A and B are shown apart, each in its own frame.
Chain A
Amino acid sequence: MSNTELYTKKPLPSKLLIFGAVVTLIGAAMSGIAFAGDVQRASFGLIMALMLLISVGFGSLFLIALEYLVGADWSVPFRRITEIVAATSIISILVAIPLLLNLHEVFTWLRPELLQADKYVAKKAPYLNETFFLVRVIIAFLIMAAFYYIFSIRSFKQDLNPTEGFRKTSAKFAALFMPVFAITISVIAMDWMMSLNPKWFSTIYGVYYFAGSVLAALAVVTFIAITLGENGYLSKKLSNDHYYNFGALMFAFTNFWAYIAFSQFLLIWYANIPDETLWFMDRTQGEWMILSLILIFVKFGIPYFALLTRPSKGNPFRLRIIAAWIFFAHVYDMYWNVGPEYSKLAGLKGPVYGLAELAAPIITIGLIAVVFYLVGKGKNLMPVNDAKFKKSLDFHL
């Protein structure tokens, strides 16, 4: 029996493109209006959008590499979806460009008068300077593009022309990917978010962003996979047991994120060194305190209890709602990381949310939809020529 009988290609509806384009345009318009009003605030909004897109795109590349490395079976039917979503990492350049033109608005370490005022920040100049920053940004994008080619485009080609030993080479690249990914995602987190407060430092920050990114990527892939599966775009042989694993992984990474976030907080709170606590001070004063407490429930409490029981993970209908929630939680988390820095810079006491901030998740959702349509159009939505494809459809818990 050939693999093509297990899956019949059904083209993506063009309404996906229309939806994506409309949402992206709304988001872009919101951000544009925000830019017209307050360039600084709008730029902070775009940082959130950039961090979200990189989370989803780069996180997807991580999920693909993980599958090859551990030899998972259950995720093979969904790997094509992950491969398509991974294109988000490249499209995030669209958001990065307006930011790169306005770096001085967000990064105080680019302002000489502030550099002089703080000797600790001044010492960081060899790392925190415009040229080196741009070099790192370009290298990070090149790395994402290279692995997008290695994992996704090679796999698309595999559909038309099955290549011998495809899995073996992919697994080798996956092994290479992991250390590169670990360093790159940490640098991205430190460059774009940690350095918003150039005085502050935390060795775990890269791991913190990594944990959230994997959650965001998982949530997006889960949401798309369940939606496509329900509407008959995937193989009929998929069972709830396949989807169950998304729930289990989201549960694991929800706990992992909470563990990392708690470790970071506890150690800084306990040692009580002013240069470290300042970051948490910004987030625990005034209304920010309420938002910080809400974060615990949004990103940990609710997903934890929602995913704890076996039935909730095995029920795609519930799982999709939880996935949407987890994506929302990551949006909130990015706001919690970026927002207070804007408030402080603008001399505000509490949080602000308006067009500039709301544009971030809207642009992200719109771009994911557009990218998914444009990249996925005309392609199989399952890796039919994968050596494990047939076996993976038989997966049962």
Chain B
Amino acid sequence: MGIEIINEPSVIYGKPSLASIDDAIIKPTNEVPSKKYFMALSVTITMLLIGAVSLGLTFYKGTGLWGLKNPVGWGFDIVNFVFWVGIGHAGTLISAILFLFRQKWRTGIARFAEGMTIFAVMTAALFPAIHTGRPWLDGYLMPYPNQHWLWPNFTSPLLWDVFAISTYFTVSFVFWYIGLIPDFATMRDKLAKNADSITQKIKKVAYTVLSLGWRFSNRHWSHYEMMYLVLAGFATPLVLSVHTIVSFDFAVSIIPGWHTTIFPPYFVAGAIFSGFAMVQNVLIIIRKIFDLEHIITIDTLEKMNKIILVTGMMVGYAYGMEFFIAWYSGHEAESFAFINRAFGPFAWSYWIMVSCNVIFPQLFWSKKLRTNIYFMFVIGVLVNVGMWFERFVITVTSLSRDFLPSSWSYYVPSLIDFGILIGSFGLFFTLLFIFIRTMPVVSIAEVKAVIEGSQPTHHHDDEGH
């Protein structure tokens, strides 16, 4: 019969031995980092210092150093915040939602993406903390008993943000840590034989404590798997809720261009879009440097690119729908807000956004292009540029055209604004560089479960593979 038989490629290339998987993944944590690593680290720490100096000046002099002035009272602070929260979405989507969808290709990248989520959320959390210009009052941002009504406005979405992000961070962190426990135990055991030098001893103590007495027993695994499933269930609605609430920051207001009902799903799609682009970018570098090309395969990257294409089109749908309804509403303020975006003084940022988010990702329709490492890297960078500008467009274009034409103005960010933006990238990448030298960037235990031949229900049919 002329029936085609479909054999899906294995998630992991070749058939590496279990020990070689351990070694390949643990290797970066055992060897003395190369010169290149220190060079890269010094760059990110410099960026971090630029941010620290900018912040120090801000705290000393006040937020007047930023480019904010009436009517644009919200600028880089919120743009950077939304950008980094967005980056933090891919990790939990990959580790939780794709886990519930039984997508095995997530295995090679889940750990790394989760780590990026944690660092991105930490970076994002910086902005609510600094945007007041009075960091000594940040204690009041934390949830605490409210008998004295020190939190005056429970109907403010900015307050919901604090709840949403702290919950998201907590669950993501626990999810990440639970996944790391068996790997920490593996690293502990690998060190057991030759723990003579002082660094080895320190490492051994650290990994022993972190692995929480994991002994790879059957009972441990069954608890672990149940816990993992439950946490995936918890994390899934959180992926949606965090950026939904971030979108409420804008959408509950009545500012034309901010108040539109599609904002929640549109923000979530955009967050996944930018998060995947960032994860894809960093993974391309990591797999090359650490020789993990057989574990983080080109097929995995291709699938990520497909998700970038899909979410990019969702974002495009939202742009189009917003524009159409702005006209359809019949309200001049609404249609003006969108025409102003596309053809007003900030048109340059609007067209950067549209071309990077909607037009360029369309090139991923071609299989040839979406499996080309260099090409996909460039698109990934462009997507992140586009998504940063999306938040810029939303925030600034709407605010700069106030209800009173006499107060209209142009927004020019200050050097301090750029300093803080650079600092946020410095913080994110510094944390990432420390992570890749101290912890396994790929889940050792999960990868072992997806190599060919390790599944309990293996096919035993006559057609063969």
Collect the chain B residues with CB atoms within 8 Å of residue A166's CB: 4
In the bound complex, do residue B330 and residue A124 qualify as a contact, i.e. CB atoms below 8 Å apart?
Answer: yes
In the bound complex, do residue A202 and residue B261 qualify as a contact, i.e. CB atoms below 8 Å apart?
Answer: yes
In the bound complex, do residue A120 and residue B4 qualify as a contact, i.e. CB atoms below 8 Å apart?
Answer: no
Interface status of B240 (Cβ within 8 A of chain A)? yes
In the bound complex, do residue A271 and residue B330 qualify as a contact, i.e. CB atoms below 8 Å apart?
Answer: no
Given A162-B2, A271-B259, A201 and B325 touching (CB < 8 A)?
yes
Q: Give CA–CA (A2, B457) in the complex, Å.
A: 21
Collect the chain A residues with CB atoms within 8 Å of residue B365's CB: 175
What's the least CB distance linking B244 to chain A, in Å? Answer: 7
Convert B316-353 into 0s and 1s, putting 1 for each residue whose CB lies closer than 8 angstroms to a CB of A: 01100110010011110000000000000000000000
Given A259-B264, A263-B244, A268-B261, A179 and B330 touching (CB < 8 A)?
no
Q: Give CA–CA (A166, B3) in the complex, Å.
A: 10
Q: Give CA–CA (A377, B252) in the complex, Å.
A: 53
Interface status of B285 (Cβ within 8 A of chain A)? no
Interface status of B262 (Cβ within 8 A of chain A)? yes
Interface status of A183 (Cβ within 8 A of chain B)? yes
Interface status of B253 (Cβ within 8 A of chain A)? yes
**How would you classify the secondary structure of chain A's contact residues: helix, strand, loop or mixed?**
helix
Q: Give CA–CA (A260, B264) in the complex, Å.
A: 8
In the bound complex, do residue B254 and residue A120 qualify as a contact, i.e. CB atoms below 8 Å apart?
Answer: no
Collect the chain B residues with CB atoms within 8 Å of residue A127's CB: 328
What's the least CB distance linking A150 to chain B, in Å? Answer: 18
Interface status of A353 (Cβ within 8 A of chain B)? no
In the bound complex, do residue A391 and residue B6 qualify as a contact, i.e. CB atoms below 8 Å apart?
Answer: yes
What's the least CB distance linking B10 to chain A, in Å? Answer: 14
Given A121-B330, A206-B321, A263 and B4 touching (CB < 8 A)?
no
Given A259-B240, A387-B6, A203 and B321 touching (CB < 8 A)?
yes
CB-CB contacts below 8 Å: B249-292 with A: 251-254, 259-265
In the bound complex, do residue B261 and residue A167 qualify as a contact, i.e. CB atoms below 8 Å apart?
Answer: no
Contact of A162 among B3, B101, B155, B248 (CB under 8 A): B3
What's the least CB distance linking A348 to chain B, in Å? Answer: 27
Q: Which residue on A lies nearest to B322, using beta carbons?
A: A203
Interface status of B310 (Cβ within 8 A of chain A)? yes
Collect the chain B residues with CB atoms within 8 Å of residue A387's CB: 3-6
A-B contact count (CB 8 A): 105
Interface status of B1 (Cβ within 8 A of chain A)? yes
In the bound complex, do residue A270 and residue B331 qualify as a contact, i.e. CB atoms below 8 Å apart?
Answer: no
Interface status of B8 (Cβ within 8 A of chain A)? yes
Contact of B325 among A121, A203, A259, A260 (CB under 8 A): A203
Interface status of A94 (Cβ within 8 A of chain B)? no
What's the least CB distance linking A213 to chain B, in Å? Answer: 15
In the bound complex, do residue B8 and residue A207 qualify as a contact, i.e. CB atoms below 8 Å apart?
Answer: no
Given A124-B328, A267-B251, A255 and B237 touching (CB < 8 A)?
yes
In the bound complex, do residue A201 and residue B328 qualify as a contact, i.e. CB atoms below 8 Å apart?
Answer: yes
Interface status of B31 (Cβ within 8 A of chain A)? no
Q: Give CA–CA (A390, B4) in the complex, Å.
A: 11
- B155, B240, B251, B261: most-surrounded residue (chain A CB, <10 A): B261
Interface status of A396 (Cβ within 8 A of chain B)? yes
Q: Give CA–CA (A318, B248) in the complex, Å.
A: 38
Q: Give CA–CA (A163, B2) in the complex, Å.
A: 7
Interface status of B393 (Cβ within 8 A of chain A)? no
Interface status of B459 (Cβ within 8 A of chain A)? yes
Interface status of B196 (Cβ within 8 A of chain A)? no
Collect the chain B residues with CB atoms within 8 Å of residue A273's CB: 254, 259
CB-CB contacts below 8 Å: B100-152 with A: 101
Interface status of A264 (Cβ within 8 A of chain B)? yes
Interface status of B26 (Cβ within 8 A of chain A)? no
Q: Give CA–CA (A319, B322) in the complex, Å.
A: 38
**How would you classify the secondary structure of chain B's contact residues: helix, strand, loop or mixed?**
loop
CB-CB contacts below 8 Å: A156-183 with B: 162-167, 175, 178-179, 182-183
Interface status of B431 (Cβ within 8 A of chain A)? no
Interface status of A135 (Cβ within 8 A of chain B)? no
In the bound complex, do residue A119 and residue B330 qualify as a contact, i.e. CB atoms below 8 Å apart?
Answer: yes
Interface status of A204 (Cβ within 8 A of chain B)? yes
CB-CB contacts below 8 Å: B224-263 with A: 237, 240, 244, 248, 251-254, 259-263
In the bound complex, do residue B331 and residue A267 qualify as a contact, i.e. CB atoms below 8 Å apart?
Answer: no
In the bound complex, do residue A204 and residue B3 qualify as a contact, i.e. CB atoms below 8 Å apart?
Answer: no
Collect the chain A residues with CB atoms within 8 Å of residue B331's CB: 120, 275
Q: Which residue on A lies nearest to B237, using beta carbons?
A: A255
Interface status of A230 (Cβ within 8 A of chain B)? no
Q: Give CA–CA (A391, B325) in the complex, Å.
A: 46
CB-CB contacts below 8 Å: A71-95 with B: 71
Q: Which residue on A lies nearest to B258, using beta carbons?
A: A271
Convert A354-397 into 0s and 1s, putting 1 for each residue whose CB lies closer than 8 angstroms to a CB of B: 00000000000000000000000000000001011011001010
In the bound complex, do residue B328 and residue A271 qualify as a contact, i.e. CB atoms below 8 Å apart?
Answer: no
Collect the chain B residues with CB atoms within 8 Å of residue A240's CB: none
In the bound complex, do residue B330 and residue A167 qualify as a contact, i.e. CB atoms below 8 Å apart?
Answer: no
In the bound complex, do residue A385 and residue B252 qualify as a contact, i.e. CB atoms below 8 Å apart?
Answer: no
Contact of A267 among B263, B318, B325 (CB under 8 A): B263
Convert B432-465 into 0s and 1s, putting 1 for each residue whose CB lies closer than 8 angstroms to a CB of A: 0000000000000000000000000101011000
Interface status of B313 (Cβ within 8 A of chain A)? yes
Interface status of A123 (Cβ within 8 A of chain B)? yes
Contact of B253 among A70, A271, A388 (CB under 8 A): A271
Q: Give CA–CA (A165, B261) in the complex, Å.
A: 42
Given A203-B325, A259-B240, A164 and B264 touching (CB < 8 A)?
no
In the bound complex, do residue B6 and residue A270 qualify as a contact, i.e. CB atoms below 8 Å apart?
Answer: no
What's the least CB distance linking B221 to chain A, in Å? Answer: 18
Collect the chain A residues with CB atoms within 8 Å of residue B2's CB: 162-164
In the bound complex, do residue A207 and residue B262 qualify as a contact, i.e. CB atoms below 8 Å apart?
Answer: yes
Q: Give CA–CA (A264, B252) in the complex, Å.
A: 11
What's the least CB distance linking B367 to chain A, in Å? Answer: 10
Q: Give CA–CA (A127, B101) in the complex, Å.
A: 40
Contact of B252 among A203, A259, A270 (CB under 8 A): A270
Q: Which residue on B lies nearest to A158, using beta carbons?
A: B3
What's the least CB distance linking B233 to chain A, in Å? Answer: 10
What's the least CB distance linking A49 to chain B, in Å? Answer: 26
Given A255-B237, A271-B259, A178 and B310 touching (CB < 8 A)?
yes
Given A2-B1, A203-B321, A123 and B259 touching (CB < 8 A)?
no
Q: Which residue on B lies nearest to A200, using beta carbons?
A: B329
Interface status of A36 (Cβ within 8 A of chain B)? no
In the bound complex, do residue B261 and residue A3 qualify as a contact, i.e. CB atoms below 8 Å apart?
Answer: no
Interface status of A186 (Cβ within 8 A of chain B)? yes
Convert A196-224 into 0s and 1s, putting 1 for each residue whose CB lies closer than 8 angstroms to a CB of B: 00000111111100000000000000000
Collect the chain A residues with CB atoms within 8 Å of residue B6's CB: 167, 387-388, 391
A-B contact pairs, 27 of them (CB 8 A): A1-B462, A3-B3, A71-B8, A119-B330, A124-B328, A162-B1, A162-B3, A164-B4, A166-B4, A167-B4, A167-B6, A175-B365, A179-B317, A186-B321, A201-B328, A203-B261, A203-B318, A259-B240, A259-B264, A259-B265, A263-B244, A267-B248, A271-B251, A271-B259, A387-B5, A390-B461, A391-B6
Given contacts A263-B261, A266-B248, A271-B254, 10 further A-B contacts (CB under 8 A): A3-B1, A127-B328, A201-B328, A203-B321, A204-B261, A255-B237, A268-B261, A275-B329, A387-B4, A387-B5
Those 3 A-B pairs whose CB atoms lie nearest each other, nearest first: A120-B330, A203-B262, A204-B261
